[in-house]
Structure 1
């Protein structure tokens, strides 16, 4: 059944989280290109003709798919998908609302009353709501109304889980910490620089930062650090290039204030790197505190500094947590695991409609 589902979302070549998930679906599950319908091509203005043509197609001659899995984020993404869901409803088609986006909760709580009605209607009329973490399911159940929707938690699959964990012992010194993400307050990069600066490491260590956004501000913050010579600030790397370099590092830090899933955490853990991350959004679902690494409260610079010291100075712990992280990713976020969850989801829908 799942292999016949039609996925609606951004074009597969658009830079962004949902596109990456859809590419993973296509590659890991061997789905044909015809199973993916684009509603956005990376530019709001240039996407308008594409979007309106899609709405007309869904109204006049919709694809013969048993279900439409609509991949939804916040703001413009939601409004596009809401209108698409109306087109499907007018034709009696069933859709699954698959929610992504770290800012979706904020949109739900801060939007005007009319928009909140649209959001609730979108979910209430869906055949199923797919959340990528349990905390999103709990939030939506409270926001939409207890028992108003059917939910299932299905994490994003990781296509980069290694066949074996990286050999951290062979790396030698210095220990290399890596951060990857949008430079700015939300990802906690300024907290990370401050925590690294305050830490009293007993082991030689370097901090490598990769990202876009507030590049000059991050460079200035790093330059003002007493450990400036040990902090390396780089611009954003192409995702493939970043993944090629990832195995050269020893641990990843992501002290983000808002994170729906944290794919960069899964990418690191999936090759055997331990992580230090903030308890935000769905991160506690991804990172097992004390097993895959450590969790700290977002904004707690002192705790972040302490946990970085623990992993940098204790090689045995760093190696063990890296191996445990790899084992956990293999079991929880592999394509095989996620495909089974998706198939089970659609099998339950079929049983309900039988």
Structure 2
């Protein structure tokens, strides 16, 4: 059985993806990993055997057990069939500490790994670290065969701190499946927010902007996501916006897709982001996007062409942008059409997965070359 597994490993690339919650998990990176998962199911790549392991789980108090189980699975898979590459999804804070352990185990087992940085807060986290944590971050990146980032802003962050990694950084913005979307000519304009409800996503400014346009009777809004759901519902009631604004809580993939198909505008007034999946999904659906120029968003949202950019923590500017889109259906349609065209060129999941497979193959070949050189040097010494 052992030999059979290793014979398969020689002909196929065995890849393990380490992701926080697993299939259907709440959060952008799990949605991105689900997009990859679904693409492999619908269009299998014969050269890749792909597995996912969760490193945190839904219950944060059980995360040490989930992490231990993930490590045991990695050890078992390496022993039984061999792992060619581990794909490590990296965020800030405790996620980083968990990934330090995953990377250390991968190195101990001599498995090459790729780091996929997806946190908008990682720069602040890195800057706040000193001593041992900072050293672990440097080791994590330095031992990676490649580091995938979502935009130039994150490439610049890594190169500034670790210039020797410049030739190992690969920029790969989040991607999604193509979607069909019809522009709505009748009824109220539907505004959609998708994300974790709370201050950092600009929920306070968003509700303030809704108050500023409440005199208009041509719009409705949905604020969907996890986080401060109850608190947001209470605030909506207190502001007298309950007839206009619904707060359904977390939606699964089918629910998110349904809301995107119904919507006309996606709004995301965040204080901090990396490259949120909801904006890429809005592009796929042809929605007009209103967002803040944080993280890698200015790299994909071109003001007045594929969306409208508004300053962070500026409710009047947000209200003005929403008011423009409510008043001007031609502008909504133009932004949505151009965003959808941009998605087809840059953010389609099939092309993304093909490139990702190339990254995994490159990481595996790099490790084989290193091992071959090591073997040659050992033989020469003898």
Q: Which bracket does the TM-score occupy, shorter chain normalised?
A: 0.7 to 0.9
Residue 120 of structure 2 corresponds to residue 124 of structure 1: no
Q: State the shift of 1:122 in Å.
A: 0.4
3-state SS in 2 of match to 1:213? coil
Q: Which has the higher helix share?
A: 2
Give the Å deviation of 1:279: 0.8
Aligned to 2:52: 36
State the alpha-carbon separation in 1 of the partners of residues 285 and 115 from structure 2: 31
* Distance of 1:200 and 1:131 partners within structure 2: 39
Give the TM-score normalised by structure 1. Answer: 0.87
1:253 is displaced (CA, Å) by 0.7
Instruction: Work out whether residues 276 and 294 of structure 1, in 8 Å CA contact, stay in contact via their aligned partners in 2.
Output: yes
Residues 347 and 200 of structure 1: CA distance in aligned 2, closer, same or farther (over 3 Å): same
Runs of 4+ more than 6 Å apart: 200-203
Name 1:253's counterpart in structure 2: 267
Q: Could you tell me how far 1:289 is from its partner in structure 2?
A: 1.8
In the superposition, the TM-score normalised over structure 2's length comes to 0.81
Question: 1:226-237 counterparts in 2 under 5 A?
Answer: 229-237=243-251
DSSP-derived class of the 2:120 partner: coil
Aligned to 1:109: 127
Aligned to 2:374: none
C-alpha displacement of 1:308? 0.9
CA deviations over 1:60-94 (Å, ceiling 9, x no partner): 76252322111222222221221121122123221
More displaced, 61-70 or 330-339? 61-70
* Alignment gaps of 5+ in structure 2: 1-10, 370-382
> Does the residue aligned with 2:334 lie in a helix, a strand or coil?
helix
User: How well do the aligned residues superpose, as a CA RMSD in angstroms?
Assistant: 2.8
**CA shift for structure 1 position 57:** 5.7
Q: Which one is further off, 202-211 or 53-62?
A: 53-62
How has the CA–CA distance of structure 1 residues 49 and 121 changed in structure 2, closer, same or farther, with 3 Å as cutoff? Answer: same
Larger radius of gyration: 2
Taking a change above 3 Å as real, the CA distance of residues 122 and 250 of structure 1, as seen in their structure-2 partners, is same
Contact 1:273/1:321, CA 8 A, preserved across alignment: yes
Q: Is the 8 A contact 1:73 1:99 kept in 2?
A: yes
The answer to which of 291-300 and 340-349 deviates more is 340-349
Match of 1:81 in 2: 99
Give yes or no for contact 1:201–1:309 (8 Å, CA) kept in 2. Answer: no
Gapped regions of structure 1 (runs ≥ 5): none
Whole-angstrom CA distance in 2 between matches of 1:2 and 1:189: 46
Shift of 1:16: 3.0
Task: Give, in whole Å, the separation in 2 of the partners of 1:43 and 1:349.
Answer: 33
- Equivalences for 1:146-185 in 2 at 5 Å? 146-148=163-165, 150-159=168-177, 161-162=178-179, 164-169=180-185, 172-185=186-199
- What secondary structure is seen at the aligned counterpart in 2 of 1:270? helix
- Given the superposition, is the C-alpha separation of residues 266 and 229 from structure 1 closer, same or farther in structure 2, using an over 3 Å criterion? same
1:296 aligned onto 2:314: no
Of 16, 19, 34, 1:6 maps to 16
Q: Which residue of 2 aligns with 1:71?
A: 89
**d(CA) in 2 for partners of 1:200 and 1:45?**
42
How much has 1:310 moved relative to structure 2? 1.3
Instruction: Indicate the SS of the match to 1:322.
Output: helix
